[in-house]
Amino acid sequence: MARASRIWRLYAGNELLGDLVVDGGDFPWLHARFEPVPAYGRFRALFDEDIRLLNSVDEDVPAQVASYERMRAAGIGLVDPDGFRVPEFLLHIQDEQAWWRWSDEPFDDD
């Protein structure tokens, strides 16, 4: 599984936001050290809100889905170590830590 041993990249459209240096995992999740570039600052609030919702006591699933949709609407994308943009993913970034899972196929809208 080559993807687990290399660097993933986070983008907003075609603008690099940072590198995700994989340092572990717990299938199906990958864990990484997040190395942001200055452009990430414009999008940090999206990820901070995601963490706030993830840690909320009431586990407001519709709010978490809305958070994911805001990221997608902002053009947030993940590129795997082979240079391919994955069609779907769930990504959380807290400080210098990131964890995500991805799919090679689009999620169903059902």
Read out DSSP for 44-82? HHHHHHHHHHHT-TT--HHHHHHHHHHHHHTTEEEE-TT
State mean pLDDT over 65-69.
87
Asked whether 28 and 17 are in contact (CB, 8 A), the reply is no
Domain that holds residue 15: 2-103
Domain contains 77: yes
Is 76 within 8 Å of 43 (Cβ atoms)?
yes
48 inside domain? yes
Would the pLDDT of 27 be above 70? yes
DSSP state letter for 13? T
Q: Report pLDDT for 80.
A: 96
User: Shortest CA distance to 43 belongs to which of 88, 77, 87?
Assistant: 77
Cβ atoms 46, 74 nearer than 8 A: yes
Number of domains in the chain: 1
The answer to whether position 94 is within a domain reads: yes
Answer whether residue 3 shows pLDDT above 50.
Answer: no
What per-residue confidence (pLDDT) applies to 1?
A: 40
Listed ranges 34-38, 59-63, 85-89, 105-109; the one with the highest mean pLDDT: 34-38
Q: What is this structure's pTM?
A: 0.87
- Asked whether residue 109 is domain-assigned, the answer is no
**DSSP letter, residue 85:** B
For residue 56, pLDDT beyond 60: yes
In a domain, 20, yes or no: yes
Statement: residue 71 has pLDDT above 60: yes
